[in-house]
Structure 1
Amino acid sequence: MRQRKIGFAILVSAGLMGLAACSSSPTGTAPERALDRAAGTNTSGAYPLQSDGMPGNPRGTEASRALDRAAGTNTSGAYPSQSDGTRVNPPGTAATRAYDRATNSNTSGAYPQNGPRQ
């Protein structure tokens, strides 16, 4: 009777180990995958299409992209057309350009006609 219980326990253990070895669960832990699904990231490695630079997830974080959209900058790297020195976003910040216009200076570098950068 005792041998039968031991044999059954061995059989169950072997079956469970076989299932574990053949597991097709994605990489990362469940909390990491949940974070990836919510944030659109690939921290766990289970969502490679959500990696930075992919069509579904451009460079930078959502927060840095939101900053870029609001401020017209390219902190995230997702908006190269908004980089300093382009037609859309001349050198300096909006504040330094406003200062330059008000004081007829060239602190930002956007108004070379106002004289050398100070």
Structure 2
Amino acid sequence: MIARIATLALLAGGLAACGTDPLNTAGRPDGAPGNPPGTAVSRASDRAGDPLNLQSRPDGTPGNPPGTAATRTFDRAAGTNTSGAYPGQSDGTRANPPGTAAGRAVNSAIR
């Protein structure tokens, strides 16, 4: 019983020491003391250099290359330029002749 009372007293003391309201139950607006601007996710993204592009930078600007992460991954795997981030892999360049490999094979077989 004494241990339970001591635990409750420590818990109550700990909650009283958390007077900064970490859950913002007081509803303070963004930027007010004790509630920094944005959300925890947006602040973490900002600290990491905004990899989630929460600042909505347009495609092709520093920090946000053309296309989406998925289309850039597809481009790297398939050797294409779907995203626009790999112009050297576009059709008709030295690294990627026009058409598809299958189409080129059919054309050379017909000739």
* TM class, shorter-length: 0.5 to 0.7
The Cα of 1:69 is off from its aligned counterpart by 1.0
2:52 to 28, 37, 41: 41
Q: CA distance change for structure 1 residues 98 and 41 in 2, over 3 Å: closer, same or farther?
A: farther
The Cα of 1:57 is off from its aligned counterpart by 2.9
The Cα of 1:79 is off from its aligned counterpart by 0.6
Q: TM-score, normalised by structure 2?
A: 0.52
**One-letter amino acid of the counterpart of residue 20, structure 1:** P
What is the CA RMSD across the aligned residues, in angstroms?
Answer: 3.3
1:52 to 39, 56, 59: 59
**One-letter amino acid of the counterpart of residue 83, structure 1:** S
Percent identity over paired residues: 52
Match of 1:20, SS state, is coil
**One-letter amino acid of the counterpart of residue 87, structure 2:** P
Structure number with higher helix proportion: 1
Distance 1:87 1:71 in 2: 16
1:79 aligns with 2:90: no
Partner deviation per Cα, 1:20-70 (whole Å, 9 max, x = no partner): 2644513xx656x49x68x9332x33x75xx53134331011110111111
2:37 to 17, 25, 34: 25
Match of 1:54, SS state, is coil
Structure 2 segments unaligned to the other structure (5+ residues):
1-25
Aligned length: 80
1:67 aligns with 2:67: no
Q: CA distance change for structure 1 residues 52 and 30 in 2, over 3 Å: closer, same or farther?
A: farther
Distance 2:30 2:97 in 1: 58
**One-letter amino acid of the counterpart of residue 102, structure 2:** A
Distance 1:21 1:91 in 2: 54
